[in-house]
Amino acid sequence: MAVSFLQEREVSDLCLGKPPLRSLSASSTIAHALAALNNSEDNFISVWTCDHRSKKEEEGEEEGGECCRCVGKVCMVDVVCFLSREDNLLSPSQALKAPLSVILTQAPPRIVVHLEPSSTLLEAIDLILQGAQNLVVPIIAATRKSGISRRKQIQIQKSLSTSHNGREFCWITQEDVIRFLLGSIGLFTPLPALSIDSLGIISTDVLAIDYYSPASSALPAISKSLADQTSVAIVDSDGTFIGEISPSTLGCCDETVAAAIATLSAGDLMAYIDGGGPPEDLLRVVKARLREKNLEKMLQEFMILSPLASDASSASSASSSDEESSSARMPMRPSGRYSKSSSYSARMVRKAEAIVCHPKSSLVAVMIQAIAHRVNYLWVIEDDCSLVGIVTFSNMLKVFREHLETM
């Protein structure tokens, strides 16, 4: 029954109520991506290659093939990791002029895959297990063949950031599929009641870093965790699990967190990004260490959060008049996502506290826990807080897929 259920269900069922994707052109710069992310509640922005002025369109003919494709996605973590490179720390403003391609080329292959609405849920699961993070699915036609001229349709397409060749798209994620399976979990009995330990879906290959290690040494692990849709564990010298540096939490920060990565320990960075904004004592530490590393240009170019910006500006303009100093201390722009209202989005004030489970937790309990906390994974720990491993949505989907083959 479960096999036929997944074969009969179309991915369009998972698109209901989803907003159309906001997009950037693949020719955009990192600065464009940063502006889009800072002014959007979306944690990811899709990146597209489009040719709206193909010869057939200009002649008013129907386009035979797709002229728009989603080629990737970008988030604040991508930008932060790029800005945290040693050479880019010296000149952040120059780094922001780099093309998005420098980020996209580092993404794993098949990170996004186009899929037709009529494709089955089983096909979607197989694509995810093959490495696709997001399945891009058309949801509505942005324009219709009514009395609107073809030229007018093209003008409308160009004015809509969510429209591509007259179509709008959403994307399906691992979380969407897990939510859907949870709604029909009874079809998979007795699988949901089994423990994650007995199912063998706890991965011991985790990304971890010592609490006192420099946060900058975690950058490769942070980039990999973003690609794997997992996280970086923070552990002590005995392997006790303390917390995490999560791409989801980093994604709710702004670009100025690159300064914290360059100056703080992994443990302090965990506290720095923990919901709502960084503590003032850590801001002072970041400022002092930037000066020690001769990276004050970051303060001047980023205007990093008002406490840092004020000190940096006042120091650089000590010989100026009071009026000039007052003007210099005014931030050039809002301090990114930290400055947004707490009611703006639940994800904007997400805490960095890690979500954990026990090896004997049942599969269905872990699914519910992950969905409730909007994470793609749970850390698995013993009663003494020693880290056992991690269980991911991908692990869960794999065991569901294997279960179907035995039915």
Q: Which residue has the higher pLDDT, 174 or 406?
A: 174
User: Per mean pLDDT, which range of 61-70, 124-133, 335-344, 385-394 is the poorest?
Assistant: 335-344
Given pLDDT bands bounded at 50, 70 and 90, which one contains residue 351? Answer: low
User: Per mean pLDDT, which range of 60-74, 243-257, 378-392 is the poorest?
Assistant: 60-74
Q: Which residue has the higher pLDDT, 218 or 349?
A: 218
- Render pLDDT for 279-297 as a digit per residue (tens, 0 to 9): 889 988 998 998 898 887 7
Given pLDDT bands bounded at 50, 70 and 90, which one contains residue 405? Answer: confident
Question: Does residue 58 surpass a pLDDT of 50?
Answer: no
pLDDT of residue 52: 53
134-141: strand order across its sheet: 112-114, 134-141, 167-172, 163-164
- Chain length of the chain: 407
Average pLDDT over residues 368-397: 96
* Helix 174-183, helix 393-405: angle, nearest 10: 50
pLDDT of residue 17: 87
Is residue 38 within 8 Å of 336, Cβ to Cβ? yes
Q: Give every CB contact of residue 17 below 8 A, 6+ residues apart in sequence.
A: none
pLDDT of residue 28: 94
Q: What is the mean pLDDT of the chain?
A: 80
**Residue position matching structure tokens 């960075």:** 269
Full-model pTM: 0.80
User: Per mean pLDDT, which range of 197-201, 229-233, 273-277 is the poorest?
Assistant: 273-277
Helix (H, G, I), strand (E, B) or coil at 130: coil
Is residue 231 within 8 Å of 80, Cβ to Cβ? no
Question: Does residue 65 surpass a pLDDT of 50?
Answer: no
Token pair belonging to 174? 């691992």
Helix (H, G, I), strand (E, B) or coil at 20: coil
* % pLDDT > 90, the chain: 54
Question: Does residue 356 surpass a pLDDT of 70?
Answer: yes
- Render pLDDT for 93-138 as a digit per residue (tens, 0 to 9): 889 999 999 998 877 777 899 999 999 999 999 999 999 999 999 9
Nearest-angstrom CA–CA distance, 349 and 337: 10
Given pLDDT bands bounded at 50, 70 and 90, which one contains residue 243? Answer: very high
User: 244: part of which helix (H) or strand (E)?
Assistant: strand 241-245
pLDDT of residue 275: 67
Helix (H, G, I), strand (E, B) or coil at 120: strand
Given pLDDT bands bounded at 50, 70 and 90, which one contains residue 7? Answer: confident
User: Per mean pLDDT, which range of 23-37, 164-178, 190-204 is the poorest?
Assistant: 164-178
- Render pLDDT for 167-199 as a digit per residue (tens, 0 to 9): 889 999 999 999 999 999 998 989 999 999 999
pLDDT of residue 338: 43
Nearest-angstrom CA–CA distance, 380 and 391: 7
pLDDT of residue 403: 87
Question: Does residue 230 surpass a pLDDT of 70?
Answer: yes
